[in-house]
């Protein structure tokens, strides 16, 4: 017997995502991922000064603005022939890393933990709850309110099997509150060198405009040490606890098992990165070649050419196009479906053995859980990879802060050429991010963004191959079609941001 479920909207993701699944004999047999809005940032930039790009593209998203700004200035660095000085490279890394940290903490606690915490058990518990009484009182008062969304984000939600342990439920809910403060610290760290957040002001082609002083470095160190403490003593232990309580989720949401990373956080001007680029296909490491990237639009609401490289890409909206079902394009690497994100970065790094600390963290986790590496291609593997890379990044930020040289310039001067082109490849919290820029008559003549969630929520491509989330959903058992919690757990493990995906 088969039935079709519409999960629309998928809540606790950024932007407007709708998921449709056919459930046959108790499991998902087919899935469709639908981006429900169009934004048009690529068109907005045409005819404007390229210098607007790092400001305009940051407005694609309030969660990952810095990464869009970085991709844009990297594309301009290439177009103008610039190499940032060390301080500029370090400042960019610190701002981008701070944005990663706040985003990963947001994803686990604010967006995903409620899929696992037994809210009712915490509300009904009468004993000492270690600081939760205010939150419980608030939820209870809202339960009696007549507002349309009684206690969002906590309720309503799907009935499901949640965490058994009352202590664990209370502990993670307490850390849910602490996570809000941790995200504030991460945003302060970014704003310390970016001037403001969201949408930092100091990113420019050639580096970053902030001229740091000793006070800023000390303030940054205080913030990153608090964040490292939260990651070590709350985030990673909580993810491990959830992983141990839901072992079956290491076998759910496997997906396309092909992974792409552009690499991020340059450690020098010679191409070395904290988390390097690469492709993992059939669990074998390959060199990443951006020339093979294309975007298909057969099933997307665009009338522009399909299977184009982003350097010649087009974005022409066609809301009435027959056969299309999403505003998300379908990026492919050498024609293949690729998952991007923390799991991709961690697996590429593991295969390349390029970061000893990250490899040791992964080995330690696998030993603790008694699982093979391949089990990380799963719902729980994505949560775990995000937490472990968060530690590696947060630890490294402290080194970068200590390497900044006070008062030294963070950027080099530049002139905008009358014509030119460039590509900025980096990683956002959610995965591989690229901006392709073309300049004619000193203004932007083409601007194409291929964004992490464009990869992960992509619809079927010209060959009919489903996108990564569509593939990850297939096979997922749905115990109760009225409460498809298993499906949303799979979707949320990718941390989709549709605002970015449809840009």
Q: Which residues sit at the interface with ligand NFE, rule CB under 6 A?
A: 14, 61, 63-64, 67-68, 103, 428-430, 433, 451-453, 497, 499-501
Contact predicate 379/252, CB 8 Å:
yes
CB of 291 to Mg ion, least distance (A): 17
- Contact assessment for residue 8 and residue 32, using Cβ atoms and an 8 Å cutoff: no
Give the nearer residue to Mg ion in terms of CB position, either 330 or 449.
449
Residue closer to ligand NFE by CB (options 371, 492) is: 492
- How far is Cα 125 from Cα 110, in angstroms, rounded to an integer? 22
Pair of tokens at residue 183: 């995200």
**14/185 with CB nearer ligand NFE:** 14
User: What's the sign of the alpha-carbon dihedral 390, 392, 397, 398?
Assistant: positive
Scored b (16 or more CB within 10 A) or e, 363-388 reads eebbeebebeeebbbbbbbbbbbbbb
CB of 96 vs ligand NFE, minimal distance in Å: 10
Q: Closest separation between CB of residue 171 and ligand NFE, Å?
A: 27
Tokens linked to 469: 């989330």
Candidates 247-255, 270-278, 442-450, 488-496; binding stretch for Mg ion (CB under 5 A): 442-450
User: How many chain residues touch Mg ion (CB under 5 A)?
Assistant: 1
Q: Which pair of structure tokens corresponds to residue 501?
A: 């995906």
Q: Which residue is listed with tokens 């999960």? A: 7
* Nearer to Mg ion among residue 333 and residue 411 (C-beta): 333
* Partner touching 67 among ligand NFE, Mg ion, none, CB below 5 to 8 Å by kind: ligand NFE
Cα-flanking dihedrals φ and ψ of residue 208, to 5°? -145, 140
- Interacting stretch for Mg ion, rule CB under 5 A, among 120-128, 145-153, 246-254, 443-451? 443-451
Q: Which is nearer to ligand NFE, 258 or 500 (CB)?
A: 500
Q: Which is nearer to ligand NFE, 456 or 476 (CB)?
A: 456
| CA–CA separation, 271 and 276 (whole Å) | 9
Residue 103 or 294 with smaller CB distance to ligand NFE: 103
Q: What are phi and psi of 34, to 5 degrees?
A: -120, 120
486 binds, among Mg ion, ligand NFE, none (CB under 5 to 8 A by kind): none
* CB 367 to ligand NFE: min, Å: 30
* Nearest distance, CB of residue 175 and ligand NFE, angstroms: 22
Out of Mg ion, ligand NFE, none, what residue 64 binds, judged by CB under 5 to 8 A for its kind, is ligand NFE
Name the token pair of 176. Answer: 């849910």
Sign of CA dihedral 24, 498, 149, 117: positive
Instruction: Give the tokens for residue 301.
Output: 């609401």
Of the pair 61, 439, the CB lying nearest ligand NFE is at 61
Scan residues 255-284 and list those touching Mg ion (CB under 5 A): none
Q: If contact means CB under 5 to 8 A according to the sort of partner, which of ligand NFE, Mg ion, none does residue 199 touch?
A: none
Which one of Mg ion, ligand NFE, none is in contact with 437 (Cβ closer than 5 to 8 A by kind)? none
Q: Which does 428 bind (CB under 5 to 8 A by kind): Mg ion, ligand NFE, none?
A: ligand NFE
Cα angle 46, 50, 58; round to 5: 90
By a kind-dependent CB cut-off of 5 to 8 A, residue 453 interacts, out of Mg ion, ligand NFE, none, with ligand NFE
* Least Å from the CB of residue 315 to ligand NFE: 16
Q: Which stretch binds Mg ion (CB under 5 A): 7-15, 96-104, 316-324, 444-452?
A: 444-452
Min CB(451)–ligand NFE separation in Å: 4
**Residues whose CB falls within 8 Å of the CB of residue 493, separated by 6 or more in sequence, listed in order:** 112, 253, 378, 379, 380, 382, 383, 472
Smallest gap from Cβ 65 to ligand NFE, in A, equals 8
Residue 497 interaction partner, one of Mg ion, ligand NFE, none, beta carbon < 5-8 Å per kind:
ligand NFE
State yes or no: residue 113 binds Mg ion (CB under 5 A): no
449 binds Mg ion (CB under 5 A): yes
Do residues 9 and 16 touch, judged by C-beta distance below 8 A?
yes
Which tokens hold the place of 9? 């909207």
Over 356-420, what HEC string results? HHHHHHHHHHHHHHCCCHHHHCCHHHHHHHHHHHHHHHHHHHHHHHHHCCCCCCCECCCCCCCCE
Closer residue to Mg ion (CB): 42 or 375 = 42
**Partner interacting with residue 118 (select from ligand NFE, Mg ion, none; CB below 5-8 Å by kind):** none
Site string for Mg ion, 169-198 (x = CB under 5 A): ------------------------------
Separation of alpha carbons 415 and 423, rounded Å: 18
Shortest spacing between CB 105 and ligand NFE, in angstroms:
13
Q: 249 CB contacts (<8 Å, ≥6 apart)? A: 243, 378, 379, 380, 489
Please say whether the dihedral angle defined by the alpha carbons of residues 32, 33, 38 and 44, taken in this order, is positive or negative: negative
Contact 5, 478 (CB under 8 A): yes
Q: How far is the CB of 60 from ligand NFE (least distance, A)?
A: 7
Neighbours of 275 (CB within 10 A): 25
Positions touching Mg ion (CB under 5 A) are: 449
């Amino acid at each position: 017997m088969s039935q079709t479920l519409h999960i629309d909207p998928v809540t606790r993701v950024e932007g407007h995502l709708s998921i449709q699944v056919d459930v046959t004999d108790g499991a998902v047999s087919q899935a469709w991922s639908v981006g429900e809005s169009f934004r048009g940032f690529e068109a907005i930039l045409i005819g404007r000064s390229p210098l607007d790009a790092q400001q305009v593209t940051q407005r694609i998203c309030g969660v990952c603005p810095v990464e869009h700004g970085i991709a844009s200035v990297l594309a301009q660095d290439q177009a103008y022939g610039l190499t940032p000085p060390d301080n500029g490279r370090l400042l960019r890394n610190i701002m981008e890393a701070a944005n990663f940290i706040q985003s990963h903490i947001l994803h686990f606690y604010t967006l995903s933990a409620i899929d696992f915490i037994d809210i009712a058990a915490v509300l009904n518990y009468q004993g000492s709850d270690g600081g939760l009484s205010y939150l419980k009182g608030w939820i209870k008062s809202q339960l009696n309110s007549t507002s349309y969304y009684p206690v969002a984000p906590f309720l309503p939600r799907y009935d499901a099997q949640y965490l058994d342990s009352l202590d664990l439920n209370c502990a993670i809910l307490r850390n849910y509150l602490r996570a809000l403060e941790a995200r504030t610290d991460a945003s302060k760290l970014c704003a310390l060198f970016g001037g403001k957040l969201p949408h930092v002001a100091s990113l420019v082609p050639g580096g970053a405009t902030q001229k740091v002083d000793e006070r800023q470095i000390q303030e940054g160190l205080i913030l990153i040490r608090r964040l490292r403490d939260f990651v070590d003593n709350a985030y990673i232990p909580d993810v491990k606890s959830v992983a141990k309580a839901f072992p079956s989720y290491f076998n759910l949401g496997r997906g396309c098992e092909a992974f792409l990373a552009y690499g991020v956080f340059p450690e020098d001007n010679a191409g070395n990165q904290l988390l390097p680029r690469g492709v993992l296909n059939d669990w074998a490491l390959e060199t990443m070649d951006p020339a093979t990237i294309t975007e298909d639009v057969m099933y997307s609401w665009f009338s522009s050419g399909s299977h184009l490289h982003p350097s010649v890409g087009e974005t022409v909206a066609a809301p009435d196009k027959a056969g299309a079902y999403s505003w998300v394009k379908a990026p492919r690497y050498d024609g293949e479906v690729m998952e991007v994100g923390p799991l991709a970065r961690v697996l590429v790094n593991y295969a390349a053995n390029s970061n000893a600390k990250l490899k040791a963290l992964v080995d330690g986790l696998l030993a603790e859980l008694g699982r093979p590496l391949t089990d990380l291609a799963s719902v729980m593997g994505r949560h775990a990879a995000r937490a472990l890379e968060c530690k590696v990044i947060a630890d490294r930020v402290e080194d970068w802060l200590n390497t900044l040289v006070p008062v030294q310039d963070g950027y080099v001067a530049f002139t905008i050429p009358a014509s030119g082109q460039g590509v900025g490849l980096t990683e956002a919290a959610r995965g591989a991010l690229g901006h392709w820029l073309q300049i004619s008559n000193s203004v932007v003549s083409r601007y194409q963004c291929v964004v992490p969630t464009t990869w992960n929520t992509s619809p079927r491509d010209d060959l009919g191959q489903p996108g990564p989330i569509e593939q990850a959903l297939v096979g997922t058992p749905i115990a109760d079609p009225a409460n498809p919690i298993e499906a949303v757990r799979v979707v949320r493990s990718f941390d989709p941001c549709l605002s970015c995906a449809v840009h």
